Structure 1
Amino acid sequence: MLASVDPPEVQLAFDRTWHVPYRWVSDPDGSRLAKPLGAWDSDASIFRPVVLAVAPDGSEAFRELSRDFTDRPDDEPVLAAVEALELPALAEPAAWAPEGIEPRPSKRAFTPASFIPYFRAIKFNTMALAERMRDEGDRHEVRTENAMASSFLDAFDGWRAEHPPEQQ
């Protein structure tokens, strides 16, 4: 499941653009999920990214709460935690089509065309910034951000192979 502050119309437009195999929850004020999960950024009135994997017994199998909107977990720890549950594979869900909702893209929506330049800029800016950092802790933070951008670019290559331009 994915959740955001966006209304269902915007979520549906995102879903149709990116072909994500998840369902969405609209949580405009953070009261349904973000605040109970400790993932609400009060200053920006948005979710901080959080990945939560729940075991069949309701316990948390994995949880990573990002520090800010740019911070994302690496896939490997998430996948390892889910695989450790040894659950049977699920069929890919049918396309999400909430009744009475028409897609309405947000003006600030992240499109496939903007993905590569955005993450390339992060990747190369963080490479340069890492060289300027004098404090090893700061250098580590910048390098972590660089690795996240590189990982996103690599994953996007796979996504593009599965979703030719006419589907984007």
Structure 2
Amino acid sequence: MPLSSVQNPHSELVGSLYRDHRSWLLAWLRRNVACPQRAEDLSQDTFVRLLGRPQLQAPREPRAFLAAIAKGLLFDYFRRAALEQAYLNELMLIPEAEQPSPEEQQLILEDLKAIDRLLGKLSSKSRAAFLYSRLDGLTHADIAERLGVSVPRVRQYLAQGIRQCYIALYGEPT
């Protein structure tokens, strides 16, 4: 669907940015992503993200502005790809008879991605504490030492991480 047909208060500005800078953005993304289709998707996602903003003003440096949005999308893409690859690597360690079905694997990946998105909302220390605990099996004291915080603070960080996982899997608590 052409951007000009989207009903949005920013559609004219986004349409102008799209016409003037889409080719440049796509070339920039292709230099950073091996898959041309993924670059195309990220380019489109950049403009969709603009349409979703509650407020938008014409940027003084449109290319830098678009590149900043695209960098965030690239970061998310690479993080999700690393997460998926880590899951697939772990899956290969499971005996074939015990492996989940392809449908179950897809559901697990979707849950992991939802958890990853919500963990991304945590502070860097809170996220690190949660991952140190759940993935590396570190004790609260070891985590506190690594992060330079107290053990009670680590407990707070872990509670925040657990809450975000709960929300990812079951929605907001009632």
Task: Bin the TM-score by the shorter chain.
Answer: under 0.3
**TM-score, L = length of structure 2:** 0.23
Which structure has more strand as a fraction of its residues? 1
**TM-score, L = length of structure 1:** 0.24
Is the radius of gyration larger for structure 1 or structure 2? 2
